[in-house]
Structure 1
Amino acid sequence: MARIVVKPGMETAFETGVAEAAPLFRRAKGCRAMALRRSQENPALYVLVVEGETLEDHTVQFRESEDFQTWRRLVGETFAEPPEVEHLNLVAHHFGEET
């Protein structure tokens, strides 16, 4: 999960960059799903959730790939601050298939 704060006025550019980067995540080793959520109270705040098979698939395989560099080129200029990243384990899933 990445908490991303976008520069004011850069929201559309960020969302476009995420959409363009979706195939990069989709083809990453172990990637199962990706979802982008936007705060209703703070429109500059987004949460990007990427589900993967292993921590290493993301922290090593993806982070050290050219696709990660492309991801950062697509969205990096829109960041107001460095993203805050947390790696989470699913404890319970109670409603539908949505993440």
Structure 2
Amino acid sequence: MILEAVMLQVKPGEEAAYEKAFREASQYISAIEGYVSHTLQRCIEVDGKYLLLVQWRSLEDHTVGFRQSEEYLEWKKLLHPFYDPFPTVEHFQEVSLEA
């Protein structure tokens, strides 16, 4: 399982419109093969700051399956105009805590 983590900064005053657009865009990411789940968290301390967490079965499900899909073009059209600066995407793997 891969966790995609993205810190997002939305342009001031556009938070409500962003959240509405994100709800609509969610249908596109969840339709992709290898998608597991996603959540969007709003920062309490910083206006316009969000954390997006997406679980994928594999890295390629995100980097190839989603990023090269028609669904990604719709996602991008809905959400990318809100970001300033444009976010950096990072991927994480769970560390086994068993000896």
The TM-score with structure 1 as length reference comes to 0.88
Q: Deviations over 1:25-82 (max 9, x none)?
A: 1111111101000110002111111101000000011001111111011111111111
Matched, 1:89 2:93: yes
Amino acid at match of 2:43: S
Which SS does the other structure have where 1:7 is aligned?
A: coil
Structure 1 equivalent of residue 80 of structure 2 = 76
Normalized per residue, which structure has more strand?
2
Structure 1 runs of 4+ aligned residues shifted over 3 Å read none
What is the CA RMSD across the aligned residues, in angstroms?
1.4
Which SS does the other structure have where 2:92 is aligned?
A: coil
Q: Which runs of 5+ in 1 are unaligned?
A: 93-99
Q: Which runs of 5+ in 2 are unaligned?
A: none
Structure 1 range deviating more: 54-63 or 22-31: 22-31
Matched, 1:25 2:46: no
Q: Distance in 1 between matches of 2:31 and 2:23?
A: 14
The TM-score with structure 2 as length reference comes to 0.88
